[in-house]
Every structure is written in C-alpha cells, then in structure tokens.
Amino acid sequence: MKSTALLSMTGQSIWLDNITRKLLDSGQLAQWIRDLSVVGLTSNPSIFEKAVTGSSDYDTQVSALAAKGLPAEQVFFECAITDLTRACDLFRGVHERTGGLDGWVSLEVSPLLANDTKATLAQARELHAKAGRPNLYIKVPGTPEGIPAIEELTFAGISVNVTLLFSPEHCRAAAEAYMRGLERRLAAKLPLGVVSGVASLFVSRWDRKTAPKLPANLKNTVGVAVCRKCYSEYCALYSSDRWLALEAAGARTQRLLFASTSTKDPSLSPTLYVQALAAPRTVNTMPEETLLAVSRGMDLPTVLAPTDRSWQATLDAVTKAGIDLDRCSAELQIEGRDAFDKSWKELIGAIEGKTAALAR
C-alpha cells in the first residue's frame, strides 16, 4: 500500500499545493488523483508567479487578453480561472463521491486587499461568480480585516479557504467568523450544508523564523508543536454545544488544513511535517516534492488524538528559551502577507512584461 493511501486512511485528506498549465495538459494531475490519493488543490500568488514566469504556457492567452485591452490583474485572473476551473472539473468526481467533503480547488483574492474588507468582499464575490464551480474555495487571508469578510462570505453561501493562519488565536478567529456566518444563515432560514470551509495553518515558517534563535534540541520543533496545539483546540471547538447545534442543522466543519508542509532545512526529512501532523478530519496540502517524497515511502508512527498534549512541554521550553510566541505569530502573518504582496507585484509585472514582449 502506498504511504499516501495509508495517510488518507487516517482521515486526513491529501491536497496538492500547486497548479500549472503543464500539470493539467500533461495529465499529471489526473494521474496523482488516481494513484496518489490527491483529493484537492490549493494555489496562491507565489505559485502562480512561478507558473506564469517559468514557462511560455500562458503566452497565447496573455497575448489574446491583452489585445482586448484588459489590465494585467484582470489578465491574470482570467488565466487563473481557466486553470482552476479545469482543476475543479477534474476533482468533480471526488467532490460528488465524498458528498462535498473533498474535491475542492482554491483561488485567492488579490493579497493587496488583505487590509481592505470591503474590496476583499467585492472581489471574492466576483471571482466566485465568474468561476461558476460548486467546488471552488475563495481564499481570504485571516488578517484582522479579512475576518469580517469571511463571516460575510459564509453568510452569503460562498465557501472560504482562510489563509495566513499561524496560531491558535488566528485559527479561533477564523472559526468564530465561520460560525457567526452560519448562525446568521440559520437565523435567516438559509441552508447550512451548501457552505464549506478550511482554515489554513502554516507550519514550516515557524521553524524558519525561530530555529536561528533556539538551542539545538529545540530547533525545528516549534511548527509541529504550534500545529498540534491548534489541532487540540480545533477538536474541542468542534465538539462544543455551540457547534453541535449548528451541525444538527446541517452545517459542515471548517476543517483545519496544514499548509507550508515542505521542510526548508535540508538536514530534515522531507516528510517530517506530514508524519508529525497526521490527524483525522484535517487536510494536508503538499507541494509536489513533498507529495512525491511521501509516495516513495513514509513511516507513520502515530496519529494525533484530540487529547494529545505533547506540544505543551515544547512550547514551554521554547518560551523559556526567549521566544515570544504571540509576537512571532503576529510577525509571521505580516511577513506572509508581505511575501504574497511581493509575489503578486512580481506576477503582475511579469504579465505586463510578457504583454509588451509578445506585442513586439
């Protein structure tokens, strides 16, 4: 049995953290769906920046759209929606077979809107309508300004992937927004089961940020410990009376999704975060290299339980070593937002450059 199949049997869904036109055209994505238990896909500005600038696959469409006088941002979204709706269609069978649990594909709003609730709402609604697929998540950052948008979109019946979460507090805010949106739907006598959601918790960036400041025995332990704490709180929240009342009315859980699960330190096993965070009713979205490393063989010594408290001693020791976890989580969210902003600007600049070059 492949390790990917074994992992999926624990109750964790495997999603791919990548999209390129080549993946679609070559049949590679379809093969991974068939052979490696891949049941969903996520994307972000950095992924699309690499896809568009790293190949000529988008040149024809970019040129045709630019010839219509479309601005670079609109050109990008047209290209992204072309790819992601194709991916949605590939995953439609998974979506139907799992009753809407899996088979999701994510499209992110412009990261430049991360601090603008009103503009985030407007663009999310526009993109969702334009894609016209029942298994498309709109990806919204879990920044303070993004949280109200998540509530409003949930109330409107638009399923959301909340991104840029780094701490239990971030995850709690995302879950609260989701539940408030569902409670408003319930009060308005609107169906709850048509809305879904995931909360994307980033793992490896914790270790990249803290490892240089920690003694050897604590390096590369923070990401897993923080995520395990978040999982513990996630299990408690979704067994609460408040949630059970919504579930009884037909609501779906906002599943915890482990993102940024590739190891950045070459001395570490490429499957470290996957092995440490196998947990029921969650998602792990993996870059290609991590997915392939898992498929080649991976031990799975344990599966997380709601009662797991292994994180407590690690986080206590890390705090004692001088790491302010609250401050780090706030900084990580800002740094993540800024990194996506940078990739976005580079992407738009690359599209403008391609447009000019193709016109010549």
* pLDDT tens per residue, range 2-18: 899 999 999 999 999 99
pLDDT tens-digit readout, 230-244: 999 999 999 999 999
pLDDT score recorded for residue 104? 98
pLDDT (average), residues 118-124: 93
Q: Among all chains, which residue has been given the structure tokens 């940024």?
A: 260
pLDDT tens-digit readout, 312-326: 999 999 999 999 999
Q: Is the pLDDT of residue 266 over 70?
A: yes
| pLDDT band for position 358 (cuts 50, 70, 90) | low
pLDDT tens-digit readout, 74-98: 999 999 999 999 999 999 999 999 9
Q: Is the pLDDT of residue 299 over 70?
A: yes
pLDDT (average), residues 101-110: 96
Question: 85 vs 69, which has greater pLDDT?
Answer: 85
For 49, residues 6+ apart whose C-beta sits below 8 A from its C-beta are 343, 344, 346, 347, 350
pLDDT score recorded for residue 360? 67
Of 336, 356, 13, 2, the closest CA to residue 143 belongs to 336
pLDDT score recorded for residue 55? 85
Beta bridge partners of 137: 106
Task: Please give the mean pLDDT across all residues of the chain.
Answer: 94
Residue 324 CB neighbour total at 10 angstroms = 11
pLDDT score recorded for residue 54? 84
* Lowest-pLDDT range of 15-24, 53-62, 153-162: 53-62
Quickly list H helices, 197-324.
204-210, 222-237, 241-248, 272-276, 288-295, 310-320
> CB pairs under 8 A, 24+ apart, for 62-70?
62/351, 62/354, 62/355, 62/358, 63/354, 63/355, 63/358, 63/359, 66/355, 66/358, 66/359
- pTM score: 0.95
- CATH class in words for 3-359: alpha beta
pLDDT score recorded for residue 359? 67
pLDDT score recorded for residue 100? 96
| pLDDT band for position 357 (cuts 50, 70, 90) | confident
| pLDDT band for position 114 (cuts 50, 70, 90) | confident
Q: Which residue in 68, 139, 209, 264 is the catalytic one? A: 139
Residue ranges of the domains in the chain?
A: 3-359
The encoded tokens of residue 126 equal 């526009």
pLDDT score recorded for residue 56? 87
pLDDT score recorded for residue 167? 98
Helix (H) / strand (E) containing 3: helix 3-9
| pLDDT band for position 302 (cuts 50, 70, 90) | confident
pLDDT score recorded for residue 200? 98
pLDDT tens-digit readout, 170-221: 999 999 999 999 999 999 999 999 999 999 999 999 999 999 999 999 999 9
Asked about 219 being catalytic, the answer comes back as no
State how far the Cα of 117 lies from the Cα of 267, in Å rounded to an integer.
41
Helix (H) / strand (E) containing 41: strand 38-42
Give the largest CA-CA distance in the chain. Answer: 64
